[in-house]
Structure formats: C-alpha cells, structure tokens
Amino acid sequence: MEPFIVHEGLVAPMDRANVDTDLIMPKQFLKSIRRSGFGPNLFDDLRYLDEGVPDADNSKRPLNPEFPLNFPRYQGASILLARENFGCGSSREHAPWALVDYGFRAVIAPSFADIFRSNCFKNGLLPIELDEAVVEQLFRAMYEQDGFRLKIDLSEQRIEGFGSESLRFDVDEFRKDCLLKGLDDIGITLQRESAIRQFEETHRHQFPWVFDVVEI
Amino acid sequence: MGQTLYDKLWSSHLVEEREDGTALIYIDRQLLHEVTSPQAFEGLRLAGRQPWRISANVAVPDHNVSTLASERSQGLAGVQDSVSRIQLQTLDDNCADFGIPEIPLDDKRQGIVHVMGPEQGATLPGMTIVCGDSHTSTHGALGALAHGIGTSEVEHVLATGCLIQRKMKNFRITVEGSVGQGVTAKDIALAIIGEIGTAGGTGHAIEFAGSAITGLSMEGRMTLCNMAIEAGARAGMVAVDDTTLDYVKKTPWAPKGELWERAERYWRTLKSDHNAIFDRDITLKAEDIVPQVTWGTSPEMVVGIDGRVPNFEDMPSDTARAGLQRALEYMGLEAGMAITDIRPDVIFIGSCTNSRIEDMRAAAAVLKGRKVAPSIKQALVVPGSGVVKAQAEAEGLDEIFISAGMEWREPGCSMCLAMNADKLEPEQRCASTSNRNFEGRQGSGGRTHLVSPAMAAAAAVAGHFVNVEHLEEAV
C-alpha cells in the first residue's frame, strides 16, 4: 500500500447526501477479477451519457457536461469533498479501488458508512470526517474559488489551505499508523500468530462444533 | 453490569485487544462468492500465503449466475456472458487450488449465499460470520455476530483466521405488540429504517427485540437482520430461542447427538442480560406499522401504503429538499402523489432479503387463482436456493406463479443487483422484494420500489401498489 503522509491537491465536489457504492462503482464492472482499472468507470452512471459496459473504450464515450468531475476546473482533482453517509450500501471494495485508480487520495465528508470507511484505509485512501458546518464552508470556498486546493498532513492530523488556521481532524490511531507506514494488515496480524493459535485451541475446546469439517 | 448479546459474542471471540482499542476477532465462518473473492485469492497467491483454516470457509456462486433454466442446465459451460463465466470459473479454480469447500453451480444446495448458509447449517448460532457482501448481517438472525467485509478483509480472514475490528456500540430496537394482517418482517424493517434513517445504525450493532420480533419465524428474522445494513448497521441480531433451535436442528450441518446437547446449552445463553446497557434503545409499536413502499432512491425514503410521496414543505433542510427533488426526477414521480397511484412495469420477487420458502408462500397465497395485470411487462420469481425451489415445487407454488403469468426461475441474486441479464430498462418501474432502491441498482435508469413479497404480488395483480389486505376491492 502506498503510504499517506502529506498530500496536497485540487478539491472536487460530490455534492449530495447518501452517495452509495452502487453509484460510485456500478455492478456491471464488478465482474472483473482484477483490482485495478476501475478509475474510468468511477461514477459511471453520472459521468457518461450512455450506458457503461465492461471492457469498453471509455475515452470514446460521451461525457455528461453537467457532472462536476467532467468540468475543466476539477481535472486532476485528488481530494473529494462529499456529504453525509458517503459510501453507504454494498461492501464492494471496487468503490475505493475506483476512487484511488481515478487519482483520489482523500475523501472529506461529515460521515461515512462503516464498511466503506474500513475499505478506504486498506487502500491508502484517507476518509476524513469533519463537522457538517465545516464541510459546508469548504463547499462554499471550493465553489467560489477556482483551483481550490487543500494540504492534508496525516501525522499532524491537520488540513491547511482554508482560512488562516488549519483544520484538525480525528483518525483512528491504528489506521493512521498503517497509512503513514504503508503497512499491510495481514503482515501485522501474522506477527500475532502464536496468540491466535493459542486462542484457537481454547476456542476449539469450548465450541468443537465450529471446527467440524463441512463435507460437500 | 450485564452484557448484551453483542458483548457476549464479541468477548467469546476476542483474541486480543490493543491499547488503541482495535482488536483481533476470531472468525468461525467465512462465506465466499465469485464477485468479492478473486482479488483476495490473488493476494494470497502473490504473498505466497495459505488459508489459515481451510474448513472455516464455504463458497458458492450466486451474484453473477444466470437464472434461466436453459443456461443453467449446462452448468458453467452454459453461461452466455463470457466475462461472467470467467468470474465463475475463477471461483471454482480458486476453491480447487486452495482446497476450499464449494457448492457448485449445478448442485441442488446452490443458492444465494445468505439463503444457503443458514439453510445448510453452514452458519450457526454463536458464530462469528463474515462474507464479502454487506447483507451478511442476515445471519445475525441465528444469534450470531455476522457482518459484511471488503475484499482486503476477505483476504485477511483467509490468511489469518481473524478480523481487525473496533468494538461497535450497542443499539437495541424493540418492536412490541403484534403486527396487523398483511404486515411482514420486511415492513417492520422498512418502518425501522424510515424511523432512524439509512445512517441511523452507523457504528452500531443492532439487536432486534420485543414480542413482534420473537413472534417472527426464522425466515422473517433473516429478512429483518438482512436489512440492518440498510439502516447503516454492519450487524443485526436476534437472541436465540426455541424458534432458532428448531430451525437449526433440521439443518444438514448442525451438530448431532451429544455435541448438539452441548451446543444447545451454550446457545441458550445467547441473549442480552436483563441489566445489560445499550448505548441506544428505541421502541416501536407493531400496531402502528402498515405495509411499506419506498418511493425514492434510498431505503429511508419510505412510507405506508396509505401514504403519499412527501411534499417539499415536509423536508427539514435544503439538502433534504435537494435530495427529494433529485429522487422525484429520477423516479419519475410527483410530490404529494398517493402511493396507490404508482404503477410498476416489472415485478421482482427474490433476493437475499425475500426469497425463502415463507416468502414464496406469501406471494403465492396472493397470486393463487389470480392473474398478473396486463400492464406488467415482466414478473420474475427467483427462489433463493435450489432447496427453496424444490420445496416450493413440492407445494405446487411454481404452478400458481406460472398460471398467474409469472416466470419461475433458477436460484441466484438476479435482479436485486442486476449483475446478470435480469435487469430493468431505463425508466422501467419495479415492485421489488429486494433491499436497495439506489439509482441504477436494478439496471441503469431503473426505478425500484421496495416492498414485501405479498405487496409485490398484490401490485402484480392490481397493476398499481395496493394494500394486500384490500386487493379484493382493487381488482
């Protein structure tokens, strides 16, 4: 995983509440057995005027001129500004894969759905939760100012580029550490292999039926 | 201080907790399907890792399978869509490579992962259960801790037998009393979501309690827990009681003999203590719940069948008004219109929410001796598993559906998420027993109204939404 330490980038809007993972990554693209290549189909239903199909040449498809990510001013954006309950619905990790593949490194919103938030951290995408009023101010500033950029410092848990003082945000300590170092969860957990084995033995003794081998 | 059911399930699986509050939770059962597992297996391969405990896993194809008997009769080779066939083949190959038990496509037990799991006894009370699918919350109906995970977590559970988690908060939703005629678990679930919103349960594990819940069958409890994620909660659960044990005892993979006795003694302790503390606790009256119909593009956009689409002045904020505007445009509806004036084009009875035998029976009871209205362009009934299908056929339900003018299909996720050929055309309107009415969910531009199986059947007959109890007067 690519570490996240400090990121400075252009901010783009996804200005609606309850953006679900079906909207972020429509189901027809979930047939892929790969982890990459989802970026061109991010927000496919909103972004293009025709219906997206897997393996199409997306560069030839008609773009929806009313969708903000298609506006010239938001090209190259790497920070997505969003509304409450972002990422609700399906557990598909294809949603954060698509956001990362498109070029986003962070999403700022008043709240996130649980599974989506967890999926983001595992892919080097930082979900930042800020007060609804602060998010509203960021939206206004972004709309008013062409080329609105923010600088996110994860180790300091601060955002600069808005007003004279930086904005502080909270982040889970464990997740912060993993992101800063670009650590792989599995490697960390396997360091506790003996503790897991020990637990498993006790668990097997207590609940032997759990360990019955299923015969298909 | 007493413990909640969730506290008990959490502590019996807690391997260790770090100082920062994150914990390693031991996973008893992982269910796998073709869509969210290929990248996890690939990850294992790239890192040269083997599954921690092979027998913890059970796989079944469901999301991407055709529901047409003509395609299904030829197994994998019959799958027309080559991209789908590769994904299905990849599941078979991965299971074969790593030795993971898989119920194949042509097996009678094949079905939607959340129907197959409880039906076979692959998921049991007291277990921690995960699957790369958000509707894994379904299995909480057994008195288990079950929730959806992403693909990185699927790989993590495969490799380590554990999940990194932070303990959630406890949320109890009590529904007291008895529901009226025609009101089902689906209506209770939608009414709860209408009350607390789609983010109402975020960060919480929900325990459903009260006489209206304990009065539900296991099928009903599964419908309810299935929809916990639509209220934002990763996990929903119901305490173990006789209904749970009677159901589990009949499943093929349940423990037998002395082991059953031992398991039952333990499972009977799986309920919240009388003095347990919940972070949040709400109560609904069952008598207040009428059959529900969603009108918008989020499950919280829901109202009783006797209600109307909201007006702009009913909305609390500008964001909500903008949301209403967008939803009305997408759904092709007018503010303030009566729900009974909405006319679906398509009927879908199926999905991990409502494709169990009880759902089939409820829909068939409404359709018996009746016909689907001529305005309905397509009406699908998709049983949740081969076992449900066989049982329904033994009861003659398939004939009722077919005589009414509906299509009786092979098991799979089908039009709930439209990964296969079962999907809505743009602007087609569907009365659906599934779980999500998001934009494009059932097909790009498709319009979904979530209802119970009985209400979907009633809409099929009447050609518009109608209280199933008043269907006689409407036709």
Query: What does the pLDDT average to over A192-211?
Result: 98
In a domain, A208, yes or no: no
Q: Which residue has the tokens 């594990």?
A: B205
- Model pLDDT, residue A124: 95
In a domain, A144, yes or no: yes
Helices (H) and strands (E) in chain B, counts: 17, 18
Roughly how many angstroms between the first and final C-alpha of chain B, as a whole number? 57
What is the C-alpha to C-alpha distance for residues B328 and B101, in angstroms, rounded to an integer? Answer: 46
| Partner-chain contact A90 B232, CB within 8 Å | no
Token couple for B108:
């009678």
Could you report the per-residue pLDDT of A105-140, keeping only the tens digit for each? 999 999 999 999 999 999 999 999 999 999 999 999
What is the C-alpha to C-alpha distance for residues B293 and B402, in angstroms, rounded to an integer? Answer: 25
Q: What is the interface size between A and B, counted as CB pairs within 8 Å?
A: 202
In a domain, A119, yes or no: yes
Token couple for B121:
């006894």
In a domain, A45, yes or no: yes
| Partner-chain contact A189 B24, CB within 8 Å | yes
Token couple for B198:
């789609």
3-class SS of residue B208: strand
User: Which CATH number is A166's domain given?
Assistant: 3.20.19.10
- Model pLDDT, residue A1: 82
The CB density around residue A146, as the number of other CB atoms within 10 Å, is 9
Number of domains in chain A: 1
Tell me if A112 sits within 8 A of A47, measured CB to CB. Answer: no
How many residues are there in chain A? 216
Of B20, B55, B234, the CB nearest to A211: B55
User: Which amino acid is it at B164?
Assistant: I
| Partner-chain contact A186 B86, CB within 8 Å | no
- Model pLDDT, residue B51: 98
DSSP state of B276: B
What is the C-alpha to C-alpha distance for residues B132 and A51, in angstroms, rounded to an integer? Answer: 26
As for the ipTM of the complex, it is 0.95
Per-residue confidence of chain B (475 residues) as pLDDT tens digits? 899 999 999 999 999 999 888 999 999 999 999 999 999 999 999 999 999 999 999 999 999 999 999 999 988 988 999 999 999 999 999 999 999 999 999 999 999 999 999 999 999 999 999 999 999 999 999 999 999 999 999 999 999 999 999 999 999 999 999 999 999 999 999 999 999 999 999 999 999 999 999 999 999 999 999 999 999 999 999 999 999 999 999 999 999 999 999 999 999 999 999 999 999 999 999 999 999 999 999 999 999 999 999 999 999 888 889 999 999 999 999 999 999 999 999 999 999 999 999 999 999 999 999 999 999 999 999 999 999 999 999 999 999 999 999 999 999 999 999 999 999 999 999 999 999 999 999 999 999 999 999 999 999 999 999 999 999 998 7
- Model pLDDT, residue B365: 98
| Partner-chain contact A199 B15, CB within 8 Å | yes
What is the C-alpha to C-alpha distance for residues B81 and A30, in angstroms, rounded to an integer? Answer: 13
In a domain, A70, yes or no: yes
Could you report the per-residue pLDDT of A22-68, keeping only the tens digit for each? 999 999 999 999 999 999 999 999 999 999 999 899 999 999 999 99
| Distance (Å) from the alpha carbon of A72 to chain B's nearest alpha carbon | 24
| Distance (Å) from the alpha carbon of B269 to chain A's nearest alpha carbon | 14
- Model pLDDT, residue B317: 87
What is the C-alpha to C-alpha distance for residues B458 and A182, in angstroms, rounded to an integer? Answer: 54
In a domain, A14, yes or no: yes
In a domain, A65, yes or no: yes
pLDDT, mean over chain A: 96
- Model pLDDT, residue A216: 83
Q: Which residue has the tokens 């500033």?
A: A141
Q: Strand B235-237 to strand B292-294: parallel, antiparallel, or no bridges (unpaired)? A: unpaired
pLDDT at A215 over 90: no
pLDDT at A176 over 90: yes
Q: Strand B145-148 to strand B162-166: parallel, antiparallel, or no bridges (unpaired)? A: unpaired
Alpha helices in B227-287 (DSSP H): 242-249, 257-267
- Partners of residue B445 in chain A, C-beta under 8 Å: 45, 51
Transcribe B429-452 into DSSP letters. EEEE-SS---TTTTSTT-EEEE--
What is the C-alpha to C-alpha distance for residues B455 and B448, in angstroms, rounded to an integer? Answer: 14
What is the CA B231 to chain-centroid distance, rounded? 12
Secondary-structure percent of chain A, ordered helix, strand, coil, rounded to 5: 40, 15, 40
User: Which amino acid is it at A8?
Assistant: E
Burial class (CB in 10 A: 0-12, 13-18, 19+), B463: middle
**Nearest residue in B to A210, CA atom:** B28
What is the C-alpha to C-alpha distance for residues B127 and B139, in angstroms, rounded to an integer? Answer: 9
| Distance (Å) from the alpha carbon of B259 to chain A's nearest alpha carbon | 7
Domain limits at A51? 6-186
In a domain, A162, yes or no: yes
| Partner-chain contact A89 B444, CB within 8 Å | no
Of B16, B148, B153, the CB nearest to A195: B16
How wide is the angle at C-alpha B122 spanned by C-alphas B120 and B123, nearest 5°?
A: 115
Tell me if B71 sits within 8 A of B172, measured CB to CB. Answer: no
**Residues ≥6 apart with Cβ < 8 Å to B13:** A203, B25, B26, B27, B28, B128, B145
Buried b (16+ CB within 10 A) or exposed e, B313-350: eebeeebeeebbeebbebbebeeeeebbebebbbbbbb
| Partner-chain contact A173 B439, CB within 8 Å | no
Q: Which of A123, A47, A18, A93 is nearest to B35 (CA)?
A: A93
| Distance (Å) from the alpha carbon of A58 to chain B's nearest alpha carbon | 17
